[in-house]
Structures are given as structure tokens and as C-alpha cells.
Structure 1
Amino acid sequence: MTSDTEPVPADSDTKDWTWVLERRCSECGFAAADVDGPEIAGTVRDLVPRWVSVLHRPDARVRPAPTTWSALEYGAHVRDVMRVFDTRLALMLDEDDPLFDNWDQDATALAERYDLQDPAAVADELADAAEATAARFAGVGDDQWERSGRRSNGSVFTVRTLGQYFLHDAVHHLHDVRG
């Protein structure tokens, strides 16, 4: 059930998840380093049917706990992650060692009212964003996988590790919603 009143904010995740590039995630089981750069695009495309299925569940809007996102909220977040990482990848391919804009995922969730969005529309938008991101990863040349980019907190990524890190987010949240 949804309402026009602002939802209780979800528990904020302030962990630095870059460690997933070095070891398997103990929560979701994903091993980012096992996905080589040229496999990223196909992996992104493989996740879409699972996310679409989750977003078509009758209870997609229901939070399992007051401060835990619903499947809809996670789906809207993953849609936006797809968009943000597509932008970051484009920067890395077009510029030398770009500094990424900060993105506050919690503020975005509240400002965009993830909880009030239409699950079917989010499923379509997630699929579109995933295809755009997958296509950009599919177009990465052999000589581009080690190009670098940076977050404002000092984390440095290559095109390859950006893709691996990004994949963990989409896979981990599928685990969160039992997708």
C-alpha cells in the first residue's frame, strides 16, 4: 500500500563496497572478479528478466520492514544505477581519468518518490536503461578496458572494474528482493 506521505527513509548504506572487486560477497555470493570485461554486457542483459519478474509481483510495493526498501524501490534504484553507470562509462571512454559526479542514492529515492512509482513502468525503464548500459559495455574496445575514472572519495576504477562493481549492485539487490 502506498500513500502520499513521505515514506520512512530506508536504512542508509554507508559502506564502501569496493572490496567486492577483490573477494566474493558473503551476502549475495557474487564474485565480481569472475566476470571479465567482455562478459559484462551479457551479464547485464541476463539480469533484466529477473528484475522484470520481481517488479511484476503483486507485492512489489510492500516493504518487508519499515526501513527496508520494497522490491519497487530497489528496482527504481537499480534502474537509476544503470543510468548513472552508463554515464560514468561514457565519461571514461571519452575523457582521460574523469572525476565522477557524486550521487546520493538515498536522497534520490526520496526526491523521486521511488515508493510511488508504477512497478510496470519501472520494469520497462530498467530494461531500457540496462540495454543502453549493456550496449555501451559491448562497444568497449580491447584497448579501453584499463582506462580509468575516479569517485570523489578517491576510489579509482578501470572500465573493467567499474563494470564489475556495477554488476555487483544489480545482483546484490536481486538477492535483497529474492529475485
Structure 2
Amino acid sequence: MARPTAPTPPPPDDKDWTWVLREPCPECGFDAAHVAGTQVPDVVRDSAARWAAVLARPDARLRPEPHVWSPLEYACHVRDVCRVFAERVHLMLTTDDPRFANWDQDATALAERYWEQDPAVVSAELTGAAELAAARFDEVTEEEWDRTGLRSNGSAFTVETLGQYFVHDLVHHGHDVGA
């Protein structure tokens, strides 16, 4: 049996989403600026818990539009975002002013063939990745919330603003799929 061909990729998202640290997102309504760093682990865990139901839907593999990811593809992305941010916060806590490697979410989606992954496996992986990320943020001490790191495009983050940026992504994609 031949492997299905890749679906049409969405247009690249080249927006600088750091504005969500200053104002509520008009699409999902989430106000990341009002999330304290100590609240990040709970938001991560809550968000992850909602994905199990999304991935159990019979239409989890279906794209609502040719250029819009399916719930399964979004869940793969959220899993990978959790992995990336768990590593980034770890770097910030163990390295002075780290620079984060560029991560191309669209290239990852194609390379990892998100559309072919098993929803049940992705659900378990997402839960594990979210728990790792939440645990990393649980480890942050009061003195460490202001440690800094730089994204490849030069955007500067503290551990707290990295957490705020991260949870917006999780909440936003949950909104995208009605989680």
C-alpha cells in the first residue's frame, strides 16, 4: 500500500507572535500577560488534558480546509511545541543568556508526516511532552523567573515571558480545534 502524499502545506506563518505578551489575542481571547509564571504549569496541564478528547474524535484526521491543519496535525504541533519549550526553559535555567535554535514548525510537520501519525499515540506523546514542560516550569525558583534567553530572530524572553508565550500557543491551538 502506498503512503498517502503530503497534504497541501498551509502558508508559512511568519508573524512575530510576541505581541501576545502585551495584549490579548483577538483570535482566541487569551491574555498571556495576565498569566504569572507560577501558573504556567497548570495551564500547560489543563491544555494537554483537552487534547485527548480532540484526538478521540472520528474526524481528527480531517482538514477543515485544504490549507488548515487537521486536529491531528495541530496536536502533533502542540506535542512538539511542548518538547521545544521544555528544552528552552531548561537551557534558560542552566545556561546564561542562551540563544535558541530556529525551529521551523512547517518543515517539522512535513518531515514528521503529521497527517500520518496515530491519534492515540500522539495523545499519549502530547500528554508526556506537556508533563515534561510543566515539570520544568514547576522547577523554576522565585529568583529564576527573570533569567533570559534569545530566540533566533533576536526576540528576548525571561523565563516568565517564555512561559506566557508558550501557553498562549497551547491555548490558541486548542481554540483552533474547539478543544
Q: TM-score, normalised by structure 2?
A: 0.97
Query: Residues 132-162 of structure 1, C-alpha deviation per residue, up to 9 Å, x if partnerless?
Result: 0001100100000000000121100000000
Return the alpha-carbon distance in structure 2 between the equivalents of residues 48 and 83 of structure 1: 13
| CA deviation string 1:102-157 (max 9, x = no partner) | 10000000000000000111010000000000011001000000000001211000
CA contact under 8 A between 1:41 and 1:137: conserved in structure 2? yes
Contact 1:6 1:110 in 2 (8 A): yes
Aligned to 1:35: 35
Aligned length: 177
Name the aligned partner's letter for residue 18 of structure 2. Answer: T
Percent identity, please: 62
* Structure 1 residues 4-62: Cα deviation after superposition (integer angstroms, max 9, x where no partner): 21211122211000000000000000000111011101111111221111111110000
CA distance in 2, matches of 1:151, 1:56: 34
Corresponding letter in the other structure for 1:169: D
Q: Any idea what SS the aligned residue of 1:98 has? A: coil
Moved over 2 A (4+): none
Tell me the distance in 2 between the aligned counterparts of 1:39 and 1:26: 22
CA contact (8 A) 1:11 1:68 kept: no
1:87 aligns with 2:87: yes
5+ residue gaps, structure 2, are none
Structure 1 unaligned residues grouped into runs of 5+: none
Aligned to 2:102: 102
Paired with 1:94 and 1:125, the residues of 2 have a C-alpha distance of: 25
TM-score (structure 1 length as normaliser):
0.97
Equivalent-residue separation in structure 2 for 1:60 and 1:10 (angstroms): 17
1:158 equivalenced with 2:158 (yes/no): yes
